[in-house]
A and B are shown apart, each in its own frame.
Chain A
Amino acid sequence: MATQSNNPVVSLTDVFKTYKVGEVDVPAVKGVTFNIPRRRFSVIVGPSGSGKTTLLNLIGCIDRPTGGRVVVAGQDLATLTDDATSDFRAQRVGLIFQNFSLIPVFSAYENIEYPLLLLGVSAPERRRRATKMLEAVGLVDHGTQRPNQLSGGQKQRVAIARALVKDPEFVLADEPTANLDSHTGASIIELMRRMQEQYATTFVFSTHDRQLMSHADETFTIRDGVLVDHVTGATSC
C-alpha cells in the first residue's frame, strides 16, 4: 500500500505528440518527461498553445502519443485497446472541462449519476453517492435543474461532482476556471481543493490562472511543448 502511494499516478517518458494539419506536421508536445505524484494538487501551466491541453489529453487517455510512453495508474496506455481505454477512463479518470460539458438532456443529479450508470453501480448505491456528491458541491436544491437552468459556477460544481462521484484514481481539469468570473473561479478553486483533501484524490489541471497556481502542490511549466520548470510546493503569485 505504501509502495502504491509512493508511485506516481502519471508517468510520462519522452512523450511526443504531433498533429497533422493538412500536409503540415505540427508538434504539440516534444519529448516531455515527468511524474505526477499521488494525492497532490498538481497544475500544468504555460501560455496558450504551449501544449497544456494536449498533455492533459494524453494523461487522461483520450489521446495517444506519437512517441514515448505514458503510464497512468500503473497502466501503460499503449497496451490498451480502444474499448479497454474507454473502460479505463470510465473507472479511473475523472474529467472536468473548461466549458463544463454537461449532458444537456440530463438534470444536475442525472449528470452526476451518469458515470455510475456507466460502471453498472446499483440504483440505491447510485442514489446515495450522487446525492452525497450533490450535497458536497452545495447543489442539493438544484438537483432537478437542467444545465441550461444553472449558472456557470453551478455547472462547474456539477462537473466537479460528476468527476468525483466514481471515486477515480485522479481528476483532470482543463482550465476549469477559464469561463468563470474571478469570484466564481475562486470559489471553484476552493471547492476543488477542499474536495481533493476530503477525498484524498489526485487533481491535475491546466491553467494560466495565477490564483489557481497559488493552490498547487506541484507546478509543471510547459512552453512550446517542452517542460521548462517543475516546482514542488505552492507557486507564489
Chain B
Amino acid sequence: MLMLKIAARNLFRNTRRSVTTLGTITIGAAAVMVFGAYITYIQYGVQTNAVQQTGHLQVFRNGYFAFGTASPGAWGIDHYATVLRLIGDDQILKPLSAVVTPIQSLAGIAGNFENNTSKTFFGVGFVPSERDRMKQWDEYGTEPRGLKHSGLNDNDLSKGLAGMGLVRILGLCDRLHLDSCLPAIQPPSPPSEFAGEDPPPSTNLADLASRDKPEGDAATNVNPTIDLLAATAGGAPNVVSLQVANVEIQPFKELDDNYVGMNIGLAQDLIYGRGEHKATGIVLQLHRTEDLSAARARLLSLFKERGLDLEVRDFTDLNPQYNQIIGLFRSIFSFITLIIGIVVLFTVSNAMSMSVIERTGEIGTTRAMGVRRQGIREQFLVEGSVLGAIGATVGVFVAQLVAFSVNHAGLTWTPPGAGAPVPLRLYTNGVDALVVLTWIGLLVVSAAAALIPANRAARMPVVDALRHV
C-alpha cells in the first residue's frame, strides 16, 4: 500500500514525462484492443458465414471427403433418413442442435440453350426450409449477410438458385432483371477455315433436356430455366430442368461462376434417377459453436455403436479458408501486438531510467533509513506497473470510444468469405478475454520495462547514492 502511494505520487513529479509515457501505453492498449475487436468481428463473421453455409458438422460416408467429390452419387449415404433420425432423436445431440438436414452434392453441365451457352457447375441439393433456417444462425449477433431466404419451397422441385457468375455466363441477367449483372458478350468468332466444321454440342444436349422440360414455352415462364446434365450414380447421363428463382452471390468468383442450389429432391432425381435416393452428407448446425467438440464426439460414438462407416467433418475442414483467414489476421495481430509491446517496453524503461537518475539521492536516503535493496527494486517495479495499469485502463476506455465511433459511422466493407458488403463493426462485447489479457499484458510489459532501472537503483551503493546531487 505504501509502495502504491509512493508510486502514485511519484507519477506526478514529472507530469510531462508521465503523461507522454501514459499516452504511449494508452494508445498501445487501445490499438491492441481495437484491432483485437476487429479480428474478433472478422472471426465471428467468417465463422457465421461458414456455419450458415455448411453447418458446424457434416457427416459423410467414410472417404467421401477425400475421394468422393468426383462422383458424389457413388458415395451417397445409404438409408440416410435412418441416420438423420438417429442424429435428430439422440438425447445428447438434440438439445445442442439447431438444424439437422441432408444435402446432396453434384456436379455437371448447366446449359441455357435459348442462348446456346453452357457451363460446368457445382451444385448442392438441400431442403429449402431447413437451409433457410441455417441461414438464420447468428450466435455472435453479426449483421445479416448473403441471401437469408432462398425463396424456394420444400414441395416445389422445379426451382433453384444460381451464382451471379453462372447467371451472367448463361446469359440470364436480363430475364432476372439484375442491374448489377453484365449483359452477355459473345466470344470472338473462330478463324473462318474452321467455322462450321464442328456443330455446337448444345444441340444434342438441348434435345436431351427437352425430355424433362415443363410444359409451355420457356420464355413465358416467370423464372428462366436452365438444364442440368450430370452423370447418375450408375454412370449414365441424366438431365433435369431448373427454374432459376433467385441469385445467390458466392464469395469467390470460381464458386460464383459455378454454383447451383436446388431442392434436394431434384438433385436426387438427377443423380439417382429412379434408384434409391441417397444423400452425400448430413449437416448438423449447433446452437453454439462451443458445443462442437461434444457433438462430434457424440456422433462418432453413435456411429461406432451402430457400426456405421461414416466420418464427421467440422466447418473448418469444409471451409479451409476459415483457418487461413483467422491465421492471417492472428499473425498480423501478433505482429502489431509485438511492435506495441516493444514500444511500450522502451518508453516505460526510458521513463523509469530517468526517474532512477533523478531520484538517486532519495534512493540513498531510503536505503540509509533501512529500506532493503529488494524494497527499492519493488518500489520501481510497482511504479512501472502503476504506469502500465493506468495507461491500459485509459486504453480500455479509448478503445470503447473508438469502437463506438466506428460502429456508428455507417462504414461498410466486404469481409473475406462474404459475397456482399456488410457494416463494419468492432466487437467490444464478447472480447472480455482480450481486454483482460491486453490489460495484464501491458502491466507485465511495463513491470518488465522497469526491471532493469529497478535493479540499477537497488544495486546502488548507499554512500554513492547519498552523494548524488
The interface of chain A, by Cβ under 8 A from chain B, is 57, 60, 62-63, 82-83, 86-91, 93, 95, 97, 99, 101, 103-106, 114-115, 117-119, 162
Contacts and interface: CB of A to CB of B under 8 A. Distances in A.
15 contacts: A57-B463, A60-B368, A63-B461, A86-B367, A86-B372, A87-B370, A89-B368, A95-B368, A97-B365, A101-B466, A103-B366, A106-B9, A117-B2, A118-B369, A119-B370
B371 interface: yes
B374 to A, nearest CB: 8
Contact of B373 (A62, A83, A95, A106): A83
B274 interface: no
B17 to A, nearest CB: 15
B80 to A, nearest CB: 76
Nearest to A95: B368
Given A62-B463, A83-B372, A86-B372, A101 B365 contact: yes
B177 interface: no
Contacts of B374: 83
Given A57-B463, A63-B462, A82-B373, A105 B6 contact: yes
Interface string B4-23: 00100110010000000000
Contacts of B2: 117
A118 B368 CA distance: 12
Given A97-B365, A103-B365, A104-B13, A86 B466 contact: no
A103 B3 CA distance: 13
Contacts of A82: 372-373
B33 to A, nearest CB: 32
A28 to B, nearest CB: 11
A105 B13 CA distance: 8
Contacts of A104: 13, 362
A47 B56 CA distance: 89
B173 to A, nearest CB: 76
Nearest to B372: A86
Nearest to A102: B365
Contacts of B366: 103
B12 to A, nearest CB: 8
Contacts of B461: 63
Main secondary structure of the interface of B (DSSP, over half): helix
B361 A101 contact: yes
Interface of B: 2, 6, 9-10, 13, 361-362, 364-374, 461-463, 466
A62 B270 CA distance: 96
Nearest to A115: B369
A19 to B, nearest CB: 9
Contacts of A90: 369-371
Nearest to B11: A105
Contacts of A105: 6, 9-10, 13
B369 A114 contact: yes
A93 to B, nearest CB: 8
A91 B466 CA distance: 20
A115 B466 CA distance: 17
Nearest to A84: B372
Given A57-B463, A62-B462, A105-B10, A118 B365 contact: no
Given A104-B13, A105-B10, A62 B367 contact: yes
B10 A95 contact: no
A114 B366 CA distance: 9
A191 to B, nearest CB: 20
Nearest to B370: A90
In the complex, the 3 A-B pairs of residues with the closest C-beta atoms, listed nearest first: A90-B370, A105-B9, A101-B365
Greatest chain A CB density within 10 A among B362, B369, B373 is at B369
A6 to B, nearest CB: 27
Given A114-B369, A119-B370, 14 more contacts: A62-B368, A62-B466, A86-B370, A86-B372, A89-B370, A90-B369, A91-B370, A97-B365, A97-B466, A103-B362, A103-B366, A104-B13, A118-B369, A162-B369
B13 A89 contact: no
A86 B376 CA distance: 12
Nearest to B13: A105
B163 to A, nearest CB: 70
B361 A118 contact: no
B346 to A, nearest CB: 26
Contacts of A106: 9
Contacts of A93: 370
B362 A118 contact: no
* Most chain A beta carbons < 10 A, residue from B2, B6, B463: B463
B13 A118 contact: no
Contacts of A63: 461-463
A106 B13 CA distance: 12
A89 to B, nearest CB: 4
Contacts of B362: 101, 103-104
B130 to A, nearest CB: 69
A109 to B, nearest CB: 13
Contacts of A91: 370
